[in-house]
Structure 1
Amino acid sequence: MPTPGKKLLIAALLVTVTAVAIGVAIKPTTSKLLPPTAIPVRVVSVVERDVPRFVTGIGSVLSLHSVVIRPQIDGILTRLLVKEGQWVKTGDLLATLDDRSIRASLDQARAQLGENQAQLQLAEVNLKRYKLLSVDDGVSKQTYDQQQALVNQLKATAQGNQAAIDAAQVQLSYTQIRSSVTGRVGIRTVDEGNFLRMSDTQGLFSVTQIDPIAVEFSLPQQMLPTLQRLISATPPADVNAYLGADTNGQTGDLLGEGHLTLIDNQINANTGTLRAKAEFNNAGQKLWPGQLVTIKIQTAVDKHALVVPPSVVQRGLDQPFVYRINGNKVESVPVQMVYQDSGLNIIKGVQAGDVLVSDGQSRLKPGASVQILSEPALTQNAPAEQQP
């Protein structure tokens, strides 16, 4: 049996072992710190180039000259000499009306003129005879004056007959309906044999000029000084018309190239916009009356502009900034926004050729290590556009 001294020794040993075990258990473990991980990013190089600026808007194609063919007299449509969709020139005969009644009136007026001219000829002969006789008092002064009045009366009647002939000839010309414009015939509304009236508002058909053609569009009133400068330029500013715009703001198919011709004489007070018009050569007939198109006008050119994609520029508390690659790290560079749109930004504060971060900025801070993804550096070639 252990003695009391041995029991105390054993207890002391147990307390010592327990204390050592507890100390080992609560002693903090030391680990080696790992080096910071490089952040993957995509980059783009700053490009220096001349950047044209454009203003865009929605316009409507209009014919410069469109007429509705209507009769100028009442009558039966005897012939239609053109087909729907046919191209006609100014002066071409389009249709004819029944002219028999007008021709009869014309013949009657000519006959009356002939009768009057015969009476006038006889009266003038008698007037000469009376004039000779009046010298020797062969006829009275009264008789001579009466003959002179008869001659004047017959001359006036002859003038009236000639006027009736001219009026009948005008009426006869109305029976031949001719085109007053070079253009394309539209859909006809009547057929041969119909009785036409001058009061008919629908007309026979329309003839619309296609080449050249115009586009009317509206822009914000703030564009007035710019448009005034562009229209007074020599030559006037070029205007391009496109089929439409996609969701990214890029224009569609080019329909025509024209020039600015007109600014309306007042601004719409309700919408704060002004109307303008451009004229286009349209030999290919890509522009059609009533068509909606997107127009683009070059307003200026930024020389030696520093161009980057919109994703490069970040919004800071005080001013915009970009992350520039410096070795394998990034630095924050404040920049000034000269121009921005959906396709590009023009900035100041960097140099041409600087490599900037275009994707992955959310994890960056100045001095952070980066890993450039193995993709070719992006460049930006889209022209600047101003949206109205």
Structure 2
Amino acid sequence: MRIQQKPALLVALLIILAALGVWYATKPAKAKLTTSTAIPVRVVSVAEKDVPRFVSGIGSVLSLHSVVVRPQIDGILTKIMVKEGQLVKKDDLLATIDGRSIRASLDQARAQLGESQAQLQVALVNLKRYKILSVDDGVSKQTYDQQQALVNQLKATAQGNQASIDAAQVQLSYTQIRSPVTGRVGIRTVDEGNFLRMTDAQGLFTVTQIDPIAVEFSLPQQMLPTLQGLISDPQHAQVKAYIGADTDGETGNLLGEGHLTLIDNQINANTGTIRAKAEFNNPGQKLWPGLLVTVKIQTALDKDALVVPPNVVQRGLDQHFVYRLNGDKVETVPVQMVYQDSGQNIIKGVQPGDKLVSDGQSRLKPGSTVQVLTDPPQVVQSEPTP
């Protein structure tokens, strides 16, 4: 019985194996992807234009002339002729001091001069008479010499009286306090009726020149040769002043444009920086003394430079490179960085008009197939009709 079951099991096993072989031979083959997927990218064209180079720093606005107005004589402040914050011109009358005692001294000096001049006139007449008489021995030589000495004495007295008059006139001029510069009046510290002294350190107020005005700033000592070249250039280097800007000066409000006027005579050994100064015309008074600003100085101008956005240039292990569009594929092109800032890069190694990848570089390699994306059209929202 067992001998008859073995052939039956062997036949069943052969049938199962045959069925598996037929199924494996006739099963459908897996579909293979024969087409590669294009990588979406954005591209920009290499532009050719003149590009100015800039260096930036932090500076403070300074007045070219700021004067503390103080009295030059002791006396009572009788009147203030200007208001706080008022614009004044040079030699404008600002205030007056009581000068009655000085006028009295001036009148006295003038009277003494008149008396001396009258005495001198009589002495000159007598001297002339004695000179004639001395020829015929009408008067002695001693009398003539004494009269000559009297004339000289009276002349010296008259000169002294004139000097007293001049001194009194100078003192009287000090009773009128005039503006030494053109500028803006500051906050007043003394009111009318106060007794002023020359030793008062506080003064009446300040007069500060606003237009033109200066900006003092510091730059790294490595910039010294560049600054020296700019200061010696007959066409002064352009300097721009911003407020609320970073060190690149790309943001913030432009307050004014001036020119470089001065480089300090020494470098700060502690900070390794050198101070410089620029002068600005300030008719709108946007630059104010004490204001902190960001300055940008144009140091050079690159003619016909090849310019691309900063995100176009990639950094490799040994050099910079870009992805250039070649048909529907990309190729890597090594480039040289000439100049860079936050807004643009100047490069060498490409041609004007070349299409370079500006977005999507992370998935690229040489020879990759790409699909150039275009910016979607802007949707204009129309106002609802009433």
Compute the TM-score of the two structures, normalised by the length of structure 2: 0.89
Moved more, 26-35 or 176-185: 26-35
Q: Which residue of 1 aligns with 2:296?
A: 296
Q: Determine the C-alpha separation between the residues in 1 that align with 2:298 and 2:247.
A: 21
Q: Determine the C-alpha separation between the residues in 2 that align with 1:285 and 1:132.
A: 76
Q: Which residue of 2 aligns with 1:365?
A: 365
Moved more, 182-191 or 34-43: 34-43
With over 3 angstroms needed to count, the CA separation of the structure-2 counterparts of 1:24 and 1:61, relative to structure 1, is: farther
With over 3 angstroms needed to count, the CA separation of the structure-2 counterparts of 1:224 and 1:24, relative to structure 1, is: farther
Is the CA contact (8 Å cut-off) linking 2:249 and 2:294 kept in structure 1? no
Structure 2: stretches of 5+ with no match in the other structure: 377-386
Residues 193-204 of structure 1: matches in 2 within 5 Å? 193-204=193-204
Q: Which residue of 1 aligns with 2:242?
A: 242
Is the CA contact (8 Å cut-off) linking 1:251 and 1:294 kept in structure 2? no
Is the CA contact (8 Å cut-off) linking 1:239 and 1:257 kept in structure 2? yes
Q: Which residue of 1 aligns with 2:381?
A: none
Deviation string 1:171-190 (CA, Å, 9 cap, x unpaired) is: 11111111121121111110
Q: Which residue of 1 aligns with 2:158?
A: 158
Is the CA contact (8 Å cut-off) linking 2:241 and 2:296 kept in structure 1? yes
Q: Which residue of 1 aligns with 2:4?
A: 6
For 2:65, the aligned partner's letter is H
Q: CA deviation at 1:191?
A: 0.5
Q: CA deviation at 1:227?
A: 2.2
SS at match of 2:315: coil
Q: Determine the C-alpha separation between the residues in 2 that align with 1:67 and 1:230.
A: 31
Q: CA deviation at 1:95?
A: 0.7
Q: CA deviation at 1:62?
A: 1.7
Q: Which residue of 2 aligns with 1:139?
A: 139
Q: Determine the C-alpha separation between the residues in 1 that align with 2:247 and 2:264.
A: 30
Deviation string 1:114-169 (CA, Å, 9 cap, x unpaired) is: 22222222222332333233233333222222222222112211111111111111
Q: CA deviation at 1:36?
A: 3.0
With over 3 angstroms needed to count, the CA separation of the structure-2 counterparts of 1:24 and 1:191, relative to structure 1, is: farther
Residues 1-388 of structure 1: matches in 2 within 5 Å? 3-16=1-14, 31-34=30-33, 35-246=35-246, 249-375=249-375
For 1:302, the aligned partner's letter is D
Q: Determine the C-alpha separation between the residues in 2 that align with 1:24 and 1:158.
A: 147
Q: Determine the C-alpha separation between the residues in 2 that align with 1:219 and 1:257.
A: 18
SS at match of 2:342: coil
Q: Determine the C-alpha separation between the residues in 2 that align with 1:233 and 1:247.
A: 25
With over 3 angstroms needed to count, the CA separation of the structure-2 counterparts of 1:78 and 1:25, relative to structure 1, is: farther
For 1:11, the aligned partner's letter is L
SS at match of 1:104: helix
Structure 1: stretches of 5+ with no match in the other structure: 377-388
For 1:238, the aligned partner's letter is Q
With over 3 angstroms needed to count, the CA separation of the structure-2 counterparts of 1:43 and 1:115, relative to structure 1, is: same
Q: Determine the C-alpha separation between the residues in 2 that align with 1:259 and 1:60.
A: 15
Q: Determine the C-alpha separation between the residues in 1 that align with 2:341 and 2:235.
A: 28
Q: CA deviation at 1:78?
A: 0.5
Q: Determine the C-alpha separation between the residues in 1 that align with 2:197 and 2:161.
A: 28
Is the CA contact (8 Å cut-off) linking 2:323 and 2:356 kept in structure 1? yes
Q: CA deviation at 1:9?
A: 1.1
Is the CA contact (8 Å cut-off) linking 2:58 and 2:295 kept in structure 1? yes
Moved more, 105-114 or 135-144: 135-144
SS at match of 1:199: coil
For 1:12, the aligned partner's letter is L
With over 3 angstroms needed to count, the CA separation of the structure-2 counterparts of 1:249 and 1:206, relative to structure 1, is: closer
Compute the TM-score of the two structures, normalised by the length of structure 1: 0.88
For 2:154, the aligned partner's letter is L
Is the CA contact (8 Å cut-off) linking 2:247 and 2:294 kept in structure 1? no
Moved more, 26-35 or 113-122: 26-35
Q: CA deviation at 1:17?
A: 5.2
Q: CA deviation at 1:334?
A: 1.6
Q: CA deviation at 1:246?
A: 4.9
Q: CA deviation at 1:249?
A: 4.7
Deviation string 1:23-73 (CA, Å, 9 cap, x unpaired) is: 899999953322332222222222222222122222222222221111001
Q: Determine the C-alpha separation between the residues in 1 that align with 2:124 and 2:44.
A: 104
Is the CA contact (8 Å cut-off) linking 1:310 and 1:340 kept in structure 2? yes
Q: CA deviation at 1:216?
A: 1.9
Q: CA deviation at 1:359?
A: 1.7
Is the CA contact (8 Å cut-off) linking 1:54 and 1:296 kept in structure 2? yes
Is the CA contact (8 Å cut-off) linking 2:323 and 2:333 kept in structure 1? yes
Q: Determine the C-alpha separation between the residues in 1 that align with 2:352 and 2:49.
A: 9
Is the CA contact (8 Å cut-off) linking 1:249 and 1:342 kept in structure 2? no
Q: Determine the C-alpha separation between the residues in 1 that align with 2:17 and 2:186.
A: 109
Q: Which residue of 2 aligns with 1:386?
A: none
Q: Determine the C-alpha separation between the residues in 2 that align with 1:72 and 1:134.
A: 54
Is the CA contact (8 Å cut-off) linking 1:240 and 1:257 kept in structure 2? yes
Moved more, 107-116 or 166-175: 107-116
Equivalenced residue count is 374
Q: CA deviation at 1:252?
A: 2.4
SS at match of 1:335: strand
Moved more, 283-292 or 8-17: 8-17
Deviation string 1:358-382 (CA, Å, 9 cap, x unpaired) is: 2222222222222222328xxxxxx
Q: Determine the C-alpha separation between the residues in 2 that align with 1:172 and 1:193.
A: 18
